[in-house]
């Protein structure tokens, strides 16, 4: 429990106020808009014979102003598109909850498609960060994953997920902190709804703590009893660890901190960015969080003060207890993009706040992290963010801010490119595509007979969501992130994996961008004497 409190404070720096009913309603429409976006695209580009009522919804979705009489609220709206000559019938599958009164148990519906042929084949390559999937799984390429190999991961796992014939079973070993496990499983369930029939049978073990657990130093190729390392799914990776990186729970919501699922939140952030133009934003670097979770954060707080110069930073301590008590008033994420520069610094490990900070259209000053989440490894310094050295934070921060204020055009471009990376490459569709490819790649490695363990239970969206009827945030996040029907668009095309040469070249590119910033910074400080 001690560790848990520690973790709670470590991973998140932001949250959002609960929306009032009207905004919520309009956001609901936004959601409709977002989930059907791919669809619209198709309709506009390929299929010109779309049904009129569908168009009507899109218009409403886009204006997001009034509360319209939505004709499309019928439980199973049937949408017919005609791509190539084959008509595809698309039916919506909302949660099918059995009636609340009485003591019948919730069952998993049998009518959700178990196979679905996407009408639109992919014509785009996935973002570059997909290239890392292959590398994350490479260590098992030769040996595959046997029962013995898999079970060695169990002592570190919070739960086991078994997918067999498209059905999902969970065996929980340990309760994870807050709802991390709940929303991680929920996310995999949504993936199954998105791409029915495309997830192979598999068994996986998942760790929900902050830090990876399968450290390379403990597993050596020449020691047969430890090789290959046990495969463990986790939210972040480290160059010295073998953990398999998987999207974290916050993409489906973090109700305890009032953080909405990513689909909805990214739209709100995009809107929020329009509120204060970059030029009008506070020309300082902003950070708010808990400095007590890691020495490097405590160290950052010292940049707050200098008797020789203006340190150009605005640092604030987040008091979670007080924030929670106050109902998160005044801490909506989308209202926090009012500084020209935002600092990202990891806590106990990677921080969920990364995607929110990078989404601000502000230039992110990113203290070089040790841990990475699934999308970070393909980001490029000076293109998507300004790199800050962990051992020279204060001087680097001051220079970066001054440089940005002297070169506003360039600083804005870096800010914008960082946000575009989040908004485009991290669209929920891509998050699911990433999960799909990780699980497909992982499934291929299974050298064991996938079996449902004795004490595992079948879990579906209905068994998770339907019993939650308190009108609270957890159910809200689930309703907001529910995948209503299989994707009409196929997953993006997997880019070829990094070859050794290509990877070297890419890492060199990252490194030389980092060096450039360091050189400028050092030149500046050398002229000015001691820091």
Ligand X SMILES: *[C@@H]1O[C@H](CO)[C@@H](O)[C@H](O)[C@H]1NC(C)=O
> Rg for the chain (alpha carbons), in Å?
24
Residue 364 bridge partners (DSSP): 342
- Determine which residue in the list 219, 284, 320, 403 makes contact with ligand X, applying CB under 6 A: 403
Contact between 524 and ligand X by CB under 6 A: the answer reads yes
C-alpha–C-alpha distance, residues 89 and 488, integer Å: 10
C-alpha–C-alpha distance, residues 327 and 319, integer Å: 12
**Residue 56 CB burial class (10 angstroms; 0-12, 13-18, ≥19):** middle
Residue 431: CB minimum distance to ligand X, A: 26
Give the residue with the Cβ less far from ligand X, 391 or 406.
406
C-alpha–C-alpha distance, residues 346 and 67, integer Å: 41
Residue 187: CB minimum distance to ligand X, A: 22
Give the residue with the Cβ less far from ligand X, 315 or 422.
315
The helix/strand/coil state of 365 is strand
- 245 in Cβ contact with 374 (< 8 Å): yes
How many angstroms from the chain centroid is the CA of residue 21?
A: 26
- 484 in Cβ contact with 35 (< 8 Å): yes
Give the residue with the Cβ less far from ligand X, 227 or 305.
305
Residue 500: CB minimum distance to ligand X, A: 32
Structure tokens at 319: 């008091």
- Determine which residue in the list 38, 54, 423, 448 makes contact with ligand X, applying CB under 6 A: 448
- Determine which residue in the list 74, 125, 143, 469 makes contact with ligand X, applying CB under 6 A: 74
Q: Which stretch binds ligand X (CB under 6 A): 233-241, 332-340, 371-379, 395-403?
A: 395-403
The residue to which tokens 């595809």 are assigned: 88
Site string for ligand X, 279-308 (x = CB under 6 A): ----------------------x--xx---
Contact between 222 and ligand X by CB under 6 A: the answer reads no
C-alpha–C-alpha distance, residues 235 and 209, integer Å: 8
Q: Which stretch binds ligand X (CB under 6 A): 21-29, 105-113, 361-369, 427-435?
A: 105-113
Give the residue with the Cβ less far from ligand X, 426 or 517.
517
Alpha-carbon distances, residue 105 vs 95, 161, 207 (angstroms): 15, 22, 29
Give the residue with the Cβ less far from ligand X, 126 or 363.
363
- Determine which residue in the list 10, 30, 57, 96 makes contact with ligand X, applying CB under 6 A: 96
- Determine which residue in the list 317, 326, 413, 507 makes contact with ligand X, applying CB under 6 A: 317
- Determine which residue in the list 4, 66, 226, 455 makes contact with ligand X, applying CB under 6 A: 455
Give the residue with the Cβ less far from ligand X, 402 or 420.
402
- Determine which residue in the list 85, 449, 500, 529 makes contact with ligand X, applying CB under 6 A: 449
Residue 103: CB minimum distance to ligand X, A: 4
Give the residue with the Cβ less far from ligand X, 454 or 470.
454
The residue to which tokens 């807050």 are assigned: 178
Contact between 102 and ligand X by CB under 6 A: the answer reads yes
Residue 107: CB minimum distance to ligand X, A: 6
Q: Which stretch binds ligand X (CB under 6 A): 30-38, 178-186, 313-321, 497-505?
A: 313-321
State the alpha helices, DSSP H only, in 328-427. Answer: 353-358, 393-406, 408-420
The residue to which tokens 């779309």 are assigned: 50
Contact between 99 and ligand X by CB under 6 A: the answer reads no
Residue 462: CB minimum distance to ligand X, A: 9
C-alpha–C-alpha distance, residues 460 and 347, integer Å: 33
**Residue 124 CB burial class (10 angstroms; 0-12, 13-18, ≥19):** exposed
Strands 371-372 and 282-289: unpaired
Contact between 409 and ligand X by CB under 6 A: the answer reads no
- Determine which residue in the list 128, 402, 420, 479 makes contact with ligand X, applying CB under 6 A: 402
How many angstroms from the chain centroid is the CA of residue 370?
A: 18
Give the residue with the Cβ less far from ligand X, 74 or 469.
74
189 contact partners, CB below 8 Å, separation of at least 6: 168, 459, 460, 461, 464
- 18 in Cβ contact with 258 (< 8 Å): yes
20 contact partners, CB below 8 Å, separation of at least 6: none
Residue 523: CB minimum distance to ligand X, A: 10
Residue 48: CB minimum distance to ligand X, A: 25
Give the residue with the Cβ less far from ligand X, 226 or 455.
455
C-alpha–C-alpha distance, residues 160 and 171, integer Å: 5
Residue 310: CB minimum distance to ligand X, A: 12
Residue 304: CB minimum distance to ligand X, A: 4
| Residues lying near ligand X in the complex (CB under 6 A) | 74-76, 96, 102-103, 107, 109, 111, 301, 304-305, 315-317, 399, 402-403, 406, 447-449, 453-455, 524
């Amino acid at each position: 429990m001690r560790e848990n409190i520690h973790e709670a404070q470590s991973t998140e720096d932001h949250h959002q106020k609960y929306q009032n009913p009207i905004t919520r309603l309009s956001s609901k429409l936004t959601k409709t808009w977002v989930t059907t976006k791919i669809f619209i695209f198709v309709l506009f580009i390929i299929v010109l014979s779309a049904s009129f009522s569908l168009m009507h919804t899109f218009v409403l979705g886009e204006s997001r102003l009034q509360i319209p009489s939505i004709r499309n609220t019928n439980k199973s709206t049937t949408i017919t598109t005609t791509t190539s000559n084959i008509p595809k019938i698309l039916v919506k599958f909302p949660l099918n909850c059995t009636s609340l009164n009485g003591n019948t148990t919730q069952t998993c519906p049998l009518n959700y498609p178990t196979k679905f042929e996407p009408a639109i084949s992919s014509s785009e390559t996935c973002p570059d960060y997909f290239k890392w999937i292959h590398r994350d799984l490479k260590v098992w390429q030769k040996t595959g994953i046997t029962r013995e190999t898999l079970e060695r991961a169990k002592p570190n796992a919070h739960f086991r997920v078994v997918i067999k014939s498209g059905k999902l079973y969970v065996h929980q070993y340990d309760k994870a902190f807050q709802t991390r496990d709940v929303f991680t499983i929920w996310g995999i369930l949504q993936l199954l709804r998105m791409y029915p029939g495309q997830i192979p049978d598999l068994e996986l073990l998942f760790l929900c703590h902050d830090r990876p657990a399968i450290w390379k130093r403990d597993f050596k190729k020449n020691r047969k009893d430890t090789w290959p390392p046990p495969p463990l799914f986790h939210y972040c990776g480290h160059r010295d660890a073998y953990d398999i990186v998987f999207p974290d729970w916050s993409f489906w919501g973090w109700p305890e901190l009032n953080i909405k699922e990513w689909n909805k939140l990214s739209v709100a952030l995009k809107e929020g960015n329009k509120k204060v133009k970059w030029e009008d934003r506070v020309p300082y670097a902003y950070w708010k969080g808990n400095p007590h979770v890691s020495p490097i954060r405590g160290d950052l707080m010292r940049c707050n003060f200098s008797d020789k110069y203006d340190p150009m930073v605005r640092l604030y301590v987040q008091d979670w207890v007080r924030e929670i008590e106050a109902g998160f008033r005044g801490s909506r994420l989308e209202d926090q993009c009012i500084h020209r520069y935002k600092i990202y610094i990891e806590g106990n490990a990677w921080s969920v706040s990364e995607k929110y900070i990078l989404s601000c259209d502000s230039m992110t000053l990113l203290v070089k992290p040790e841990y990475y989440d699934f999308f970070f490894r393909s980001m490029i310094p000076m293109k998507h963010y300004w790199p800050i050295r962990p051992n020279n934070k204060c001087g680097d921060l001051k220079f970066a801010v001054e440089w940005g204020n002297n070169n506003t055009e360039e600083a804005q471009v870096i800010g914008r490119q960082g946000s575009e990376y989040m908004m485009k490459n991290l669209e929920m569709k891509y998050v699911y595509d990433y999960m799909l490819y990780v699980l497909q790649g992982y499934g291929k490695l299974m050298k064991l007979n996938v079996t449902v363990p004795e004490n595992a239970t079948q879990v579906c969206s209905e068994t998770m969501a339907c019993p939650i009827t308190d009108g609270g945030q957890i159910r809200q996040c689930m309703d907001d992130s529910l995948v209503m029907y299989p994707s009409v668009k196929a997953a993006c095309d997997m880019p070829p994996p990094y070859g050794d040469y290509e990877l070297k070249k890419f890492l060199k590119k990252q490194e030389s961008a980092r060096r450039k910033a360091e050189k400028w910074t050092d030149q500046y400080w050398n002229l000015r004497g001691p820091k």
